[in-house]
């Protein structure tokens, strides 16, 4: 009877010990898992490597028209607004032309009267006013006495003013910088508006002198607008100003393909690429410094492997590797800041 109680007690003690050890073992395993470094990887690739120039620039219209009022007056009608597309020849604004019209019609009547007076003078000199053989001195005398020359000058002047009391679009494009309103007086010192041909958008930017070997007329550029980061445009270099400024910069202009969404004056980023040959390349984030030497960590069998590398040229995204890793290696591109050789990793 006592022997049975002893066996039961021993069994309970063993069960109790077993139940305490199991959670501890699981806890140790969890700690080992948590100590593993979480990383992300990419495959090192071999291929053509592109050198890049990155610059900032502004969008400008290669074709535009600033429209001025050529006569003074009060604006009576405006038929467009900023951002609206207009066709060449479309009337976009008018002045209150009542006085201008009266002045023109009066000048027209005076001209007709002076023509009659000129004919009477020619007849008085003994010539047929419809003849083509009237001496020049007689014609000049008739023009002066009749007041024809003054009437003709007044007619042409008032006709010009009356005709220019209406503004028409000289080119097709989008209206910009229209700030005047109906009933405003015209201003001859500033444009009434600007019409921009959005099919002629260009980008102006600068490059440093020692980058000129990568810039050629006809070369391709990639354009991205800060206000539209998800979109990109292509273009071609149109001109290179053959002058180095005091700060060592050279001005460059490129056309923009299908740039109708861009606004004149918009700030953009420009990228020019040039093939530099074949290299193994990795993302720039894959390269870290250890004792001032470049290191790339590769991922193999759940461990981070420390590799000293020799680097070469780089662009905005990638860096070329001369030695230290091979194409096809799985390189660690994030989570590599505090890695050591043979650190256990999760990826």
Query: Residue 345: exposed, middle, or buried by beta-carbon count in 10 A (0-12, 13-18, 19+)?
Result: buried
DSSP reduced 3-state for 226: coil
* Contact predicate 44/323, CB 8 Å: no
> Which letter does DSSP use for residue 188 in this model?
S
pTM over cut 0.75: no
What the block records as the tokens of 104 is: 């023109």
pLDDT digits (tens, 9 = 90+) for 126-171: 999 888 889 999 999 999 999 999 999 999 999 999 999 999 999 9
CA distance 27 to 33: 10
pLDDT digits (tens, 9 = 90+) for 238-274: 999 999 999 999 999 999 999 999 999 999 999 999 8
What the block records as the tokens of 170 is: 């000289």
Name residues of the chain where pLDDT drops below 70: 1-34
CA distance 59 to 259: 9
Cα angle 244-249-250, degrees, rounded to a multiple of 5: 60
pLDDT score for 308: 96
In order of 9, 36, 58, the CA distances from 22 in angstroms are 20, 22, 68
pLDDT score for 235: 96
pLDDT digits (tens, 9 = 90+) for 296-310: 999 999 999 999 999
What kind and span of H or E run contains 18? helix 2-35
pLDDT digits (tens, 9 = 90+) for 137-149: 999 999 999 999 9
What the block records as the tokens of 48 is: 């053509």
pLDDT score for 5: 41
- Token pair 């890049």 is at which residue? 52
pLDDT score for 6: 42
Query: With pLDDT > 90 as the criterion, what percentage of the chain qualifies?
Result: 81
CA within 13 Å, CB half, 137? 1
pLDDT score for 36: 84
In order of 103, 124, 227, 251, 278, the CA distances from 254 in angstroms are 50, 71, 20, 10, 28
């Amino acid at each position: 009877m006592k022997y049975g109680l002893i066996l039961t007690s021993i069994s309970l003690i063993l069960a109790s010990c077993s139940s305490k050890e199991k959670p501890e073992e699981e806890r140790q395993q969890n700690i080992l898992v948590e100590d593993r470094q979480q990383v992300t990887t990419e495959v090192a690739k071999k291929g053509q490597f592109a050198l890049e120039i990155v610059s900032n620039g502004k969008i400008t219209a290669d074709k535009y028209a600033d429209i001025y009022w050529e006569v003074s007056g009060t604006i009576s009608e405006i038929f467009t607004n900023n951002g609206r597309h207009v066709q060449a020849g479309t009337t976009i604004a008018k002045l209150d032309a009542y006085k201008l019209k009266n002045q023109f019609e009066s000048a027209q009547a005076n001209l007709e009267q002076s023509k009659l007076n000129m004919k009477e003078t020619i007849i008085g000199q003994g010539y047929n006013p419809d003849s083509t053989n009237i001496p020049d001195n007689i014609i000049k005398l008739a023009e002066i006495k009749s007041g024809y020359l003054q009437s003709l000058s007044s007619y042409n002047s008032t006709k010009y003013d009356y005709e220019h009391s209406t503004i028409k679009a000289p080119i097709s494009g989008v209206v910009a910088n229209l700030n005047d309103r109906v009933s405003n007086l015209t201003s001859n010192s500033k444009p009434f508006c600007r019409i921009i041909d959005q099919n002629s958008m260009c980008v102006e930017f600068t490059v440093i002198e020692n980058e000129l070997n990568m810039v050629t007329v006809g070369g391709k550029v990639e354009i991205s607008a800060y206000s539209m980061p998800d979109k990109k445009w292509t273009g071609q270099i149109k001109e290179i100003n053959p002058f180095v400024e005091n700060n060592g910069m050279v001005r460059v202009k490129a056309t923009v393909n299908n740039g109708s969404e861009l606004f004149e004056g918009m700030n953009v980023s420009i990228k020019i690429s040039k093939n530099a040959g074949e290299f193994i390349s990795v993302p720039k984030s894959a390269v870290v410094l250890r004792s001032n030497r470049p290191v790339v960590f590769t991922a193999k069998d759940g461990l981070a492997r420390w590799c000293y590398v020799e680097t070469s040229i780089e662009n905005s995204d990638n860096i070329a590797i001369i030695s230290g890793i091979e194409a096809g290696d799985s390189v660690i591109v994030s989570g590599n800041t505090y890695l050591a050789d043979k650190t256990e990793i999760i990826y």
